[in-house]
Amino acid sequence: MFENLSARLEATFRRLRGQGRLTEANVDDALKEVRRALLEADVNFKVAREFIRNVKDEALGQEVLRSISPGQQFVKVIHDHLVTLLGGGARDLARASRPPTRFLLVGLQGSGKTTLAAKLALRFEKEGRRTLIAACDVHRPAAVDQLVALGAQAGIEIHTEPVGTPAEDIAKQARLRADAEGFDVLLVDTAGRLHIDEELMGELGRVRSAAGPHEILFVADAMTGQDAVQSAQAFDEAMGIDGVVLTKMDGDARGGAAISIRAVTGKSIKLVSTGEKLGDLEVFHPDRVASRILGMGDVLSLVEKAQESVDAEAQVEMARRVQKQGLTLEDFRTQLKQFKNMGPLDQVLGMMPGAKLKGLPVDDKALVRVEAIIGSMTVEERRSPRLINGSRRKRIARGSGTSVQDVNRLLKQFDEMNKMLRKLRTRGLGRSGLAGLPI
C-alpha cells in the first residue's frame, strides 16, 4: 500500500534535508515533485492541486524551529495536511440505540462486497455482537453459495430465500428475522453491476426501503483508483452513502483512491481490507496511514496486530524462561509462527519506523525455510544447538530441502541473537518483548 508514493516522497525529502532553510524556491521545487508523485499515485488532480496549495502556504508561513531541519519541518507540514485530507481521525461504524444495527453494503460488481460482509460479521462476532447476513445478491451466479460458504467458514448465520425471490423481499424477511431472533447486527449484501445504471439503483432503492439501514457503506476496490472515487460519488448522489470501505488495499501500491475519495465525496473511509483472510480488516486511521506514506512506520497498528496474534500468557512464560536460560530454537520457531500470524511480512515490516523496504524483495518464503530447517532438527538439537556438528547439519539440510549453507546461516544468526539477548539481560532489559511484540 502506497509503496510507489512513499518512495517518491522519500527521495524528495532527502533532497530538501540538505538545504539550510526553507525558501520559496526550494519549496516550489519540492512541491513539484510531491505533485508529480501524487498524480502518479492516481490521486485526483483537483485534490492534488488543492493539497499542494495548502502545503505551500503553510510551509512558507512557518518559522523553522532551531531543533529541527527544514526537511523535517516540511515533512511535518506534509504529514499534517495528509491527515486532514484523509479525514482527520478514525470514524466508528453506526450503532443503533436499539439492536439490531442494520448495514447496507453497496458497490459495483467485483468490489468485494460479499467477502467484506463475512469479514465485518466476523469482526462483530468477536465483539460479542451476534450477526446475521442477508444474501440479497440475486443476480451474480453462485453469489448466495459463496456467502453461505463464507458464513460456514466464519461461523456466521446467513439468511437466504428460495431462488427467484426479489432482493427487497429477502431484505424484508431478514429484517423481520433479525428482530424476532434478537440479533445485534444485520448486514445486507447487495448485487452490483459492471457499471451504474437505473436498474441497479432502482433495485438498491427498494432494498434500502425494505432493510431500513442505519448506515449505508460503499464498498470500493482500491485497485480501480479514480474509477472507485467516481463510483463513490455517483452512489452518494443516487442514494446517500454514509461511509466507505476500501478493499484490496494489499494489492494497490499507489493508493490514489484512499487519498482522493474523502476529499471528493466528503465521506469518511471507515475500514480497509488488507488481505484475503477473513481477519484482514482494519479500522482506517488517517494519522497512521499518513505516517506509513511518509515512511514513519505505524507502531500502534503493529502493536495491535501483535496483541491479536500473540498468546500473552505464553509470551510472559517464555520471557521468564529466556531470561534465565536463553533462547532455544524451539522458542525461536514459536516466535516465527506468531510473527507470521500477524500478516504478510512486507506489511508487518512496513509498520516499523525506519524500515527501508523500498525496492528490496521481502520474501515470506524465507520464514518457511527457517521453519523447515528447525523442523528437521531433533528435540535435543533444538534445545541445544551446540550439538549440531557437520554431519548433523548435512542431515538437517537434506530433511528440510535446503543447503548446508542455509543451515549454517540460520545457526549463526541465532547465535548472534542469543548474544544480543544476553547483553540485554545484563542491562535489565528484554523481559517481555517490545510493547507486547514477540521477542
- Considering its fold, how many domains does the chain have in total? 3
Q: Give the pLDDT of residue 27.
A: 82
Within this chain, do residues 188 and 42 fall inside the same structural domain, yes or no? no
In a domain, 290, yes or no: no
**pLDDT-based confidence at 424, cuts 50/70/90?**
low
What pTM did the predictor assign?
0.68
Percent of the chain with pLDDT over 90: 33
Distance CA 74, CA 60 (A): 9
C-alpha cell belonging to residue 89: 481521525
Residues 81 and 193 occupy one common structural domain = no
Last residue of a domain, one of 35, 61, 86: 86
Residues 149 and 78 in one domain: no
Higher pLDDT, 426 or 103: 103
Cα(277)–Cα(257) distance, integer angstroms: 22
If asked whether residues 247 and 119 sit together in one domain, one would say: yes
| 258 part of a folded domain | yes
Residues 106 and 232 in one domain: yes
Which pLDDT band holds residue 152 (cuts at 50, 70, 90)? Answer: very high
Q: Does residue 186 lie in a domain region?
A: yes
221, 254: one domain: yes
> Which tens digits make up the pLDDT trace of 43-60?
888 999 999 998 888 877
The stretch 74-96 carries a mean pLDDT of 88
Q: How does strand 157-159 pair with strand 131-136?
A: parallel
Q: Residue 322's pLDDT band (boundaries 50, 70, 90)? A: low
CATH number (domain holding residue 188): 3.40.50.300
Same structural domain, 110 and 230: yes
Q: What CATH number does residue 39 fall under?
A: 1.20.120.140
- CA distances 378 to 17, 373, 395, 417, 418, Å, are 53, 11, 11, 21, 20
Residue 163 and residue 82 share a domain: no
Predicted confidence at residue 63, as pLDDT, reads 54
Residue 436 within a domain: no
For residue 91, the one-letter residue type is R
Q: Does residue 55 fall inside a structural domain?
A: yes
Residue 295 confidence (pLDDT):
67
pLDDT at 308 > cutoff 60:
no
Q: Hey, CA dihedral for 380, 385, 386, 387, is it positive or negative?
A: positive
Residue 433's H or E segment, with its range, is none
How far is Cα 77 from Cα 56, in angstroms, rounded to an integer? 9
pLDDT at 128: 94
Q: Does residue 289 fall inside a structural domain?
A: no
The position carrying cell 519540492 is 30
Average pLDDT of every residue of the chain: 80
pLDDT for res 183: 97
171 with 253, same domain: the answer is: yes
Q: Which of 70-79, 343-352, 393-402 has the lowest mean pLDDT?
A: 343-352
Residue 146 lies in a domain: yes
Q: What was the pLDDT predicted at 436?
A: 37
For residue 18, what pLDDT is reported?
Answer: 64
CB 206 within 8 A of CB 167: yes
14 and 80 both lie in a single domain: yes
Does 118 lie in the same domain as 266? Answer: yes
Question: 334: domain range?
Answer: 303-426
pLDDT at 435: 36
| Final residue of a structural domain among 58, 86, 114 | 86
User: Does any domain span residue 96?
Assistant: no
Q: Are residues 124 and 199 in the same domain?
A: yes
Per residue in 335-381, pLDDT tens? 776 666 655 555 555 554 444 444 444 455 777 888 899 999 999 99
Domain boundary residue among 27, 55, 86? 86
- CATH number of the domain where residue 409 is located: 1.10.260.30
Q: Which of 18-22, 254-258, 309-313, 396-400 has the lowest average pLDDT?
A: 309-313
